[in-house]
Structure 1
Amino acid sequence: MPESQTISWLPDGTPYSTRFDDRYHGEQGLAQAQDVFLRGCGLPAAWAGAPQWRILETGFGFGLNFLAAWSAWRADPARPRLLHFVSLEAWPVSSDDLLRAAARHPELQELARELHAQYWGLLPGVHRLCFDGGRVLLTLCVGQAQALLRQQLWEVDSVFLDGFSPERNPDLWSLETLKAMARHCRRGTRLATWTVARGVRDALTQCGFVVQKVAGLPPKRDNLQARFDPRWQPRSRRRPPEFTQPARCLVLGAGLAGATAAASLARRGWQVTVLDAGATPAAGASGLPAGLFAPHLSPDDNLFARVSRAGVRAMLQQAGALLQAGVDWSPAGVLERRPPAQLGLPADWSSGPGLDWSRPADAESLAAAGLPENASACWHARAGWVRPARFIARLLEQPGIAWRPNSAVARLVRSSTGLWQAFGSASAPLAEAELVVLAAGPACNDLLAPLQGPQLPLQPVRGQMSWGLQPAPAEGLPPFAVNGGGALMAHVPCEGGLAWHMGATFERDVQRLPMTTEEQAAAHAHNWQRLQALVPGAAPTLRPAFEGGQDLRAWAGVRCTAHDRMPIVGPVAPATLPGLWVSTAMGARGLTRAMLCAELLAARLMGEPLPVEAKLAQAMGCERL
């Protein structure tokens, strides 16, 4: 686990790093951010009229350069539609110190409070923080700069070369680190820094930058500015993006995968048409009355666990912006029952940012769930329940999205002009666009087969949820969701009252709907058995429903998963079927994964910084299949 930066505060209020024996920027902090970094990179003029702008910073510190860039973006009528700010930090400061440092700059207080609200759980790796309706994206990368720069594949327009002085932290300014940084620059990328150390100037020149000294911000005599313009042709491992400008898109499927993909593309200026056979959004597997989102636990913090955390963060951001807490969703946390002595937490989890995510359940939360003090369970603070149909409806209301119900797509055709056309039963196309995103679960392969495209390794999984209106009083029903071999969600608003939900079953390779009366009864019996093991205290209250059929209801749907349990996101076959992308295979974790997959799809499509580490993106990509 990374340690927080150890900060002491000098008498004049300036923060000081005891780790590096160096002070952070004092009274000149905001002035330096604006003069040295923003104006040093020609901003805001350089980004005028661009669809997006990407800034790379080598030391996040207290986030002052990010706040200054965000403030300048807000104030600029010619600002790009999307501002990406990618920042590296090996030793994150605490959230309290972050807010204290920003207090020196009253003009940044509003933005600093918004940053503070998302500044939590910063484990090693990549964290995507989202502001201004998703148009300002901070990609905060926690770890050693050189390693992070080598692992990722960004292309940036500006570089803020910042950090503690070369004498105090030489690794950050070494030739090896600057070479790794230069890999992310395009010809013409501008760089700015406050140091004019000869070793830094020589290293930048060796890396292909044209370097010049400029007048510094008093009392400093000089600063450094540079432009990436190597004498050689740089080699890049980055694939050119399929689209550099927004266009039209057809999304096939109005469930979680389709609605989130539509919203992410619409925020970037795409004109999106969503086609679905249903008469309402969420007519398929995403239409369950209530669903759970929560991180996954693994003692080795594997890819599955890391993807789940990134997905939960993305879900929290989007649901918080669109939904009404306590009505459409509840981020009140989730208690997860675990096998005895197998909490699933990594060995070094006992202190540090991981506790912002998950921790051993305390006596209070166990008692609230009616469980004994010695019960094996974890508490997920960043988790909860959502009414998916409400979430999907709000996503589809976003500007730039046209929702077309009763529009079953039977086949796709790529015209001689390069446009994709979606056909139903009639001879005329339902719609056409430059891009198609398949988000139709198991039906994706039905659409790919006539195109002679690759068949995705999709497995249908049928499931039934048992639910009903809560009796009063609802004794034994916990105030938060409980999962682990099924999930119980209670106190969910429904029909003017409250409802409970338990399930769901998991039948692989079964997709027959509707379920027969016998199948429904067997699924209810399975859920009842799971409920008694999961939350025994709820059994007396819900026994009349399960055993007497009092207002016992069922919802069933067919989910879709891949052989390795990871989502499938990316281009289907870029060489032979350009403009055909997919987002599917989210299994029973659609609420945890869908928003992340949508942002990953949009980022890959348009050459943006990815919302996760490159390794995680590869684990979700079509190319792995």
Structure 2
Amino acid sequence: MNAGKNTYRQLEHAALNWDENSLPISSEFDDVYFSKASGLDETRYVFLQHNRLPERWESFDFSQGTPFVIAETGFGTGLNFLCAWQAFLQHAPADARLHFISVEKFPLTQEDLKKSLSIWPELKALADQLIEVYPLPIPGVHRRHFACASGSAGRIQLTLLQGDASELFSQLEAKVDAWFLDGFAPAKNPEMWTPELFQAIRRLSDHGTTVATFTAAGIVRNGLKAAGFDIKKTKGFGRKRHMVCGELILQDGQPVQAPPAPDAPIIEPLALATPWQDIPWFKPPNQLSTAANHQIDGETDLTKTVAQIATKAAKSCAIIGAGIAGSTTAQALARQGINVTLIEQNSQPGQAGSGNRQGVLYIKLGTEPSPHSRFYLAGFEFSRHYLQQNVSDELWQASGVLQLATSEKEHKRQQSFLERNQFPEQLLQGVSAEQASELSGTKLEHSGLYFPNAGWARPALLCQQFSQHDNIQLLTDTFVDKLEHNEQGWKLLDKQGEIITQADQVVIACAASAKHFEQTQWLPTKSIRGQTTYLQTNEQTPKLNTVVCHEGYIAPAIDDQLCLGASFNLRDEETELRDSDQQHNLDLLADAMPDYHQALQASDTDLETLNGKVGFRCASPDYAPLAGPAPVYDSFLERYERLRHDATRIPDAEPEYYPNLYLNIGHGSRGLASAPLCAEVLTGYIGNNPQPLERELLNALQPSRFIIRGMIRGRL
């Protein structure tokens, strides 16, 4: 599951011993997770007090919707996170948001986490929320949202990086306000305290970023000094003699430090990381330095830098399309305090590609962990927790999903997949035909993969729920014909040229219709017709316990109807239901599940009446979504023209994007697994939030990838 590896490998759980006071001790590092004297008091003293957090929260400018960001090395039991969360509720304004980032290479089991945190009764209400959504031991980035005591969802966010600290912080996109350098002591775990880690700390920090750590070891002091922090040694907690704290003070972008003592060793500064040097075309808008050279109403604007335009606080956003991509994006931005106008051309949200009665949340992973497979794995894990926390049982059921191996080729692929890779059983497991039959409640002839926490949802109703928020204005029966930009922002016009609305930011989330706009005519997406079939059930209709996927799929019945499908027709714009596609869906069912199909016939279930829905999937050439800033097509062709002739010669040019214009399309038939996480990605760009994915995976979603790929391959 790590970048550069050719197999998926779950992380090793931390091996714990428990002392006479039931305190956890790491067997691997022979070190305590928190102070035996008082772990809670130590956290408050070392990290909260020496980062000056309570007073900073009271004076921090939260008015622009910006969260206060804390980053930590060593999540461990989550005690520091819970302590910061508790203090934030006590000292920060009621509408302020806290974003906590942490890293852990050896995560505790859920049971060990629960036992460790049971020591602190005053944290129980917060700890229970953490335990409920604690990630499986899967490497990568895991994003979670938490409710506060008032019940407001999303005010506290956790981004937990599972794996090597240096590697993951080097792949992170965020701006950190305070660092908790925790983890095991350098003498016990020197591998964590690398120059690469301190380089990543410097890259993720800005003027005024503070740091505090329990240790005063030279490797930590010198690493922080080399990263540009002004460091001082102070009294440690309890019996500990010293600890270290400091601050990054910048002048003209360079660190300003007090002169060292005459006998102090010379500390060479770390070179700042340049993560975009080899792939400048993926550099995000808020990191661009060149003058904005975009056309605004026919005139070139050279008055502001792209970064200044991109980092301007977003107060309003218009989202075009209220399907699963648009509605989840609207909900995510609204929770950040951004005023959203959600525009839908149909009479209500979720009527087009997201309009099926039932959709399936599951993923099909490649044998090797490509960026696309890793993205969908992260998306699946985020979606299942997102649905669990945010919707009722009527809209989402974790019924489990079986992915049958209905051909010899698929059987061999699944066997190779299981032999080469290692996953937690709570995520997926290989099952025999007999086991699949027992799980599904019907006789099956094929083995498969079982996803116990996957299931089905009602996407149309989800879209309607996610379109509701005090910060969301929903406009239905409204078609956006044109986008125009000026210094005040974006104007969205109808076919008569009348202004529908104006906004600082725009997200195009209207699937294949995104190509309607002048700015995005170049998009390589395709529209794929799909017809689902609805069968009316009766008392004799055989029941299913799980979703079963084969060449098609069938889900457990809801409201006395079975949903199965779906046809796959490229270059087919027919919107009416047709008998041939209904028969196609029934034939797929009969081939994959003959006993169940026969039982349907024997139960007098009506297989003849034509009933279902036609929708159109929007798919990209590589079947991954397009989620990110909208590139200026002609500018990309000009700035990266050299790639047509020699892809090894990287042009020294920054990309050009339309200011504050973003895409969230191309989710195909897997929108339930991809759209909620892509909404988080968009909040990273628009709200200057920490990103929920490693840089490599963000790049795999960038819309501009198709322009660069086309040039390198000689297609553009």
Same fold (TM over 0.5): yes
Q: What are the superposed Cα offsets for residues 133-152 of structure 1, whole Å, 9 maximum, x if unpaired?
A: 22222111111112222222
Residue of structure 2 equivalent to 1:460? 527
Query: Matches of 1:524 and 1:454 in 2, distance apart?
Result: 34
Q: For the Cα contact (< 8 Å) 2:538–2:605, is it kept in 1? A: no
Q: Does 1:275 align with 2:337?
A: no
SS at match of 1:109: helix
Structure 1 residue 567, shift from structure 2 partner: 0.1
Note closer, same or farther for the CA distance 1:228–1:413 as it changes in structure 2 (3 Å cut): same
Q: Out of 327-336 and 262-271, give the one that drifted further.
A: 327-336
Note closer, same or farther for the CA distance 1:127–1:523 as it changes in structure 2 (3 Å cut): same
Alignment partner for residue 184 of structure 1, among 198, 204, 217? 204
Note closer, same or farther for the CA distance 1:117–1:200 as it changes in structure 2 (3 Å cut): same
Residue of structure 2 equivalent to 1:52? 67
Q: Does 1:7 align with 2:16?
A: yes
Q: Does 1:600 align with 2:681?
A: yes
Gaps of 5+ in 2: 1-8, 148-152, 256-271, 275-283, 288-306, 633-655, 707-716
- The letter of the residue matching 2:489 is L
Residue of structure 1 equivalent to 2:574? 512
Q: Does 1:296 align with 2:361?
A: no
- The letter of the residue matching 1:148 is L
Structure 1 residue 485, shift from structure 2 partner: 1.0
Residue of structure 2 equivalent to 1:488? 554
Residue of structure 1 equivalent to 2:516? 446
Alignment partner for residue 539 of structure 2, among 446, 450, 472? 472
- The letter of the residue matching 1:623 is S
SS at match of 2:22: coil
Q: What are the superposed Cα offsets for residues 102-153 of structure 1, whole Å, 9 maximum, x if unpaired?
A: 0110011121111111113221111112212222221111111122222223
Alignment partner for residue 345 of structure 1, among 386, 394, 417? 417
Structure 1 residue 71, shift from structure 2 partner: 1.3
Structure 1 residue 367, shift from structure 2 partner: 2.1
Alignment partner for residue 305 of structure 1, among 354, 373, 388? 373
Q: Does 1:69 align with 2:78?
A: no
Structure 1 residue 617, shift from structure 2 partner: 1.0
Query: Matches of 1:293 and 1:81 in 2, distance apart?
Result: 32
Residue of structure 2 equivalent to 1:163? 183
Residue of structure 2 equivalent to 1:418? 488
Structure 1 residue 540, shift from structure 2 partner: 2.5
Note closer, same or farther for the CA distance 1:318–1:149 as it changes in structure 2 (3 Å cut): closer
Q: For the Cα contact (< 8 Å) 1:544–1:550, is it kept in 2? A: no
Residue of structure 1 equivalent to 2:38? 28
Alignment partner for residue 25 of structure 2, among 7, 10, 16? 16
Q: For the Cα contact (< 8 Å) 2:444–2:593, is it kept in 1? A: no
SS at match of 2:527: strand
Residue of structure 2 equivalent to 1:323? 391
Q: Does 1:555 align with 2:623?
A: no
SS at match of 2:411: coil
SS at match of 1:385: strand
- The letter of the residue matching 2:71 is L
Structure 1 residue 580, shift from structure 2 partner: 1.4
Q: For the Cα contact (< 8 Å) 1:454–1:573, is it kept in 2? A: no
Alignment partner for residue 123 of structure 1, among 138, 153, 171? 138
Q: For the Cα contact (< 8 Å) 1:47–1:80, is it kept in 2? A: no
Q: For the Cα contact (< 8 Å) 1:286–1:389, is it kept in 2? A: yes
Query: Matches of 2:685 and 2:626 in 1, distance apart?
Result: 13
Query: Matches of 2:483 and 2:195 in 1, distance apart?
Result: 51
Q: For the Cα contact (< 8 Å) 2:214–2:243, is it kept in 1? A: yes
Q: For the Cα contact (< 8 Å) 2:510–2:665, is it kept in 1? A: yes
SS at match of 1:286: coil
Superposition map of 1:580-591 within 5 A: 580-591=661-672
Q: For the Cα contact (< 8 Å) 1:285–1:557, is it kept in 2? A: yes
Query: Matches of 1:83 and 1:212 in 2, distance apart?
Result: 26
Structure 1 residue 181, shift from structure 2 partner: 2.1
Superposition map of 1:524-539 within 5 A: 524-539=582-597
Q: What are the superposed Cα offsets for residues 445-493 of structure 1, whole Å, 9 maximum, x if unpaired?
A: 112x2x4x55111111000000122121222x3211111211101222x
Residue of structure 1 equivalent to 2:565? 503
Query: Matches of 1:544 and 1:578 in 2, distance apart?
Result: 61
SS at match of 1:340: helix
Q: Does 1:233 align with 2:254?
A: yes
SS at match of 2:483: strand
SS at match of 2:377: helix
Alignment partner for residue 456 of structure 2, among 380, 385, 388? 385
Query: Matches of 1:217 and 1:137 in 2, distance apart?
Result: 28
Query: Matches of 1:576 and 1:230 in 2, distance apart?
Result: 29
Q: What are the superposed Cα offsets for residues 298-331 of structure 1, whole Å, 9 maximum, x if unpaired?
A: 2213223222222222222332233221x22211
Consecutive aligned runs of 4 or more in structure 1 exceeding 3 Å deviation: 234-241, 344-350, 362-365, 370-374, 541-552
Query: Matches of 2:503 and 2:231 in 1, distance apart?
Result: 45
SS at match of 1:578: strand
Q: Does 1:430 align with 2:497?
A: no
Query: Matches of 1:558 and 1:318 in 2, distance apart?
Result: 25
SS at match of 1:208: coil
Note closer, same or farther for the CA distance 1:546–1:604 as it changes in structure 2 (3 Å cut): farther
Residue of structure 2 equivalent to 1:172? 192
Gaps of 5+ in 1: none
TM-score (norm 2): 0.81
Note closer, same or farther for the CA distance 1:615–1:174 as it changes in structure 2 (3 Å cut): closer
Q: Out of 506-515 and 389-398, give the one that drifted further.
A: 506-515
- The letter of the residue matching 1:43 is L
Identity %: 29
Superposition map of 1:136-147 within 5 A: 136-147=156-167
Query: Matches of 1:149 and 1:37 in 2, distance apart?
Result: 19
Residue of structure 1 equivalent to 2:170? 150
Query: Matches of 1:588 and 1:107 in 2, distance apart?
Result: 45
SS at match of 2:180: strand
Structure 1 residue 157, shift from structure 2 partner: 0.7
Structure 1 residue 11, shift from structure 2 partner: 1.1
Query: Matches of 1:482 and 1:576 in 2, distance apart?
Result: 42
Note closer, same or farther for the CA distance 1:427–1:177 as it changes in structure 2 (3 Å cut): closer
- The letter of the residue matching 1:53 is F
Q: Out of 332-341 and 256-265, give the one that drifted further.
A: 332-341
Query: Matches of 1:550 and 1:437 in 2, distance apart?
Result: 42
Q: What are the superposed Cα offsets for residues 65-93 of structure 1, whole Å, 9 maximum, x if unpaired?
A: 11111111222342663221111111111
Q: For the Cα contact (< 8 Å) 1:545–1:552, is it kept in 2? A: no
Note closer, same or farther for the CA distance 1:301–1:354 as it changes in structure 2 (3 Å cut): farther
Q: For the Cα contact (< 8 Å) 1:385–1:481, is it kept in 2? A: yes
Q: Out of 15-24 and 530-539, give the one that drifted further.
A: 530-539
SS at match of 1:354: coil
TM-score (norm 1): 0.92
Structure 1 residue 39, shift from structure 2 partner: 1.6
Q: For the Cα contact (< 8 Å) 1:249–1:271, is it kept in 2? A: yes
- The letter of the residue matching 1:384 is G
Q: For the Cα contact (< 8 Å) 1:469–1:551, is it kept in 2? A: no
Query: Matches of 2:172 and 2:390 in 1, distance apart?
Result: 31
Query: Matches of 2:322 and 2:444 in 1, distance apart?
Result: 44
Structure 1 residue 577, shift from structure 2 partner: 2.3
Query: Matches of 1:539 and 1:377 in 2, distance apart?
Result: 19
